[in-house]
Amino acid sequence: MGDPSGTGPEILVKAWADPTMTAMARWLAIGDASCIAQAMRITGVDGVVRRVESPADARYTEGVLDVLDLHNVDLARLQFGTVQVMSGRAAYEAVERAIHLALGGEIDAIVTSALHKEALNLAGYHYDGHTEILATLTGTKSVTMMLIAGTFRVTHVSTHCSLREAIDRVTKPRVLDVIHLTHAALLRMGIAAPRLAVAGLNPHAGEGGLFGHEDAQEIQPAIDAARAEGIDVYPYPVAPDTVFYRMSSGKEFDAVVAMYHDQGHIPTKVLGFAEGVNVTLGLPIIRTSVDHGTAFDKAGKGTADATSLKRAVEVAVRLVRGR
């Protein structure tokens, strides 16, 4: 459901109301049923909310949205567009329940709406976001974020940390790990022979050491190791100011490994903000997500765009089929 003070419930019901979405997957919403019913009224979606206690109780009938009701939002206290402890707690509890269901094999995949990081932390859950929650609750040591916008795919060596710390996280083992995770994900997506590129960290990928040594000392050895394993990686770190163009326009690569958050996020969102999808790689479960925030400025108005959530469902279905 996402943070109920944001647009999560609204885009959920909008996406569910699209017949192409329910034709490709059985939808079980996890969150507060009264909040989701309210979202139907706000958006004008024609549907009925049916409260269930477990996935086994769901019927998946036309026009009826099964909701695993957590009873954790008081509509009288809910304020749209406002950071609230109640909303942060509700968002966390929905994700937590979904993870346990996925680990138990009761659901095939998780598709998440946005949570608000400040609300999450005020509620006592001290995580940087979904990725860290998922890694902790699944006991996964190594994960990475992949952003997808059509055929444009970017993974990240680091995400939610300072730029100064991001530089320190560029190490041969971590870069090689992200290459492995990226390659495995592309295979699951049906790409038989994935072609990867690794972005440099520094301008011009270091320019032979003139602009920094990380590209030669950390990134290049990771590329060499991956190529020795038979992974099709471009033989050198590619200058960050050209690698994304070469993937989007030249179609040279199926994915690019970016070194830090903004290096990968900016080109993806420029090219496909409304259609972007976030996938967490490395987990024992499948999780995809919208690639945008809680959109507090649109909450409660019924105008939020559900396109990113629809694309996230499509990617989740593709990954389930590729198991």
User: pLDDT tens digit string along 232-285?
Assistant: 999 999 999 999 999 999 789 999 999 999 999 999 999 988 889 999 999 999
Query: Apex CA 63: angle with CA 60 and CA 68, to 5°?
Result: 50
In this structure, whether the domain defined by 1-140+284-323 belongs to CATH 3.30.70.1170 is answered with no
Give the pairing type, strands 110-112 and 255-258.
unpaired
Q: Position 29: which residue type?
A: A
**Helix (H, G, I), strand (E, B), or coil: what is residue 258?**
strand
Predicted confidence band at 194 (pLDDT cuts at 50, 70, 90)? very high
Contact between residue 215 and residue 231 where contact means Cβ atoms under 8 Å apart? no
Predicted confidence band at 13 (pLDDT cuts at 50, 70, 90)? very high
Both tokens assigned to 31: 């969150």
Please give the Cα distance from 183 to 109 (Å, whole number): 20
Residue 151, pLDDT above cutoff 90: yes
Mean per-residue pLDDT, 63-80: 97
Model pLDDT, residue 206: 85
CATH number, domain 142-282, options 3.20.20.70, 3.40.718.10, 2.70.98.40, 3.40.50.720:
3.40.718.10
Please give the Cα distance from 3 to 214 (Å, whole number): 39
Please give the Cα distance from 94 to 134 (Å, whole number): 12
Both tokens assigned to 154: 């970017």
Q: Work out the percent of the chain whose per-residue pLDDT is above 90.
A: 93
Please give the Cα distance from 51 to 58 (Å, whole number): 9
Contact between residue 194 and residue 255 where contact means Cβ atoms under 8 Å apart? yes
Model pLDDT, residue 25: 97
Please check whether the two domains, 1-140+284-323 and 142-282, share a CATH topology.
yes
Model pLDDT, residue 128: 86
Alpha-carbon dihedral sign for residues 215, 220, 222, 227: positive
Model pLDDT, residue 284: 97
Please give the mean pLDDT across all residues of the chain: 96
Q: Which sequence spans correspond to the domains of the chain?
A: 1-140+284-323, 142-282
Alpha-carbon dihedral sign for residues 125, 114, 108, 315: negative
Contact between residue 16 and residue 49 where contact means Cβ atoms under 8 Å apart? no
Model pLDDT, residue 67: 98
Model pLDDT, residue 201: 97
Comparing 21-30, 134-143, 256-265, 270-279, the range with the smallest average pLDDT is 270-279
Please give the model's pTM, rounded to 2 decimal places: 0.92
**Helix (H, G, I), strand (E, B), or coil: what is residue 320?**
helix
Mean per-residue pLDDT, 63-91: 98
Predicted confidence band at 187 (pLDDT cuts at 50, 70, 90)? very high
Model pLDDT, residue 253: 97
Q: Work out the percent of the chain whose per-residue pLDDT is above 70.
A: 100
Based on DSSP, count helices (H) and strands (E) in the chain, helices before strands.
13, 10
Mean per-residue pLDDT, 99-106: 98
